[in-house]
Structure 1
């Protein structure tokens, strides 16, 4: 497994496994504490694992946590997703940058999203399972949602949106979400 910095988002990393393939399929390590530690992250900080299943066109996000934020490791374990990170850390050299990735079950690449960054994704396949490893227990009172189609962000979502939660559908603009987060 190797770690690669994401230039557009300061502190973000892609963790690329080395799969072992044969006639049965493949095997790969999807988390390695030594590799995580090698880029300055505490592997023991992750306290919660979650999984979502989405159908083609489903969009989830853009989500952010207020307060101390939430760092996460995100991996598409089955299918393919278009994954997006927006840096909303005011003191970051990549503040307001947007980076997108295609994550897939074939590659099992894991994306590290630093605390203070918004995250969202769209399922590209009929079934897409997305695994999250999060560094703080979830507190719904800290949830912040930003409009997926905010013109300031201009995220090029690859498919028409087939479904999203009511919260995501009614999310405020980036400017309003940031204003609310500061108050």
Structure 2
């Protein structure tokens, strides 16, 4: 498995080498040794989740306050346009975003460290997205920024077909930045 550092500090792309023959293919989707070699505790993941999205659906941009959560994300079926926003005030790439295509052909997994926002758009009629998460979900710590925030200027490749009401009502990037600057709203790592 090849591990590639992206343009965002600490965001890694794990690229497997599928074994193909007349039957189809076989690929490792998680390798504890590769994860450990990249500086991530492979035993730290406590939850696996999966979502199914239809063509054009956007989920995100989501993050967590408090101790937050890191994620290892992959697309098991179909394809997604996956976006990570660095929301760590002390990071050299704070405020920047990067997009990745994750699909059932490249089989890559994207490591998203604590303190980043995450969202994606389904690029196929059905897209199944798998998440390996290092913290149990605490809904009181949820943070969201609008997927179409003009300051971030994220370019989504397809027309948006559906976004949850919660995501449509999400805060702006500037509002989140103000919270991060506010000493009374100190975030101990992720947002």
Same fold (TM over 0.5): yes
1:43 to partner: Cα distance? 0.3
1:180 to partner: Cα distance? 4.1
Secondary structure of 1:102 counterpart: strand
Number of residue pairs the alignment of both structures matches: 182
Aligned counterparts of 1:104 and 1:139: Cα–Cα separation in 2: 28
Moved over 2 A (4+): 177-183
Residue 7 of structure 2 is aligned to residue 2 of structure 1: no
Match for residue 14 of structure 2?
15
Match for residue 133 of structure 2?
134
The gaps in structure 2 that reach 5 residues or longer are 186-191
Match for residue 113 of structure 1?
112
Q: Given the two structures, how large is their TM-score scaled by the length of structure 1? A: 0.97
Aligned counterparts of 2:43 and 2:177: Cα–Cα separation in 1: 30
Aligned counterparts of 2:85 and 2:138: Cα–Cα separation in 1: 21
What is the Cα-based RMSD across aligned positions, in Å?
A: 1.0
Q: Show the 5 A alignment for 1:8-157.
A: 8-157=7-156
Q: Given the two structures, how large is their TM-score scaled by the length of structure 2? A: 0.93
Aligned counterparts of 2:70 and 2:171: Cα–Cα separation in 1: 22
1:83 to partner: Cα distance? 0.4
Q: Once the two structures are superposed, what CA deviation does each residue of 1:33-71 show, in whole Å capped at 9, x if it has no partner? A: 000000111000100000000000000000010111210
1:91 to partner: Cα distance? 0.7
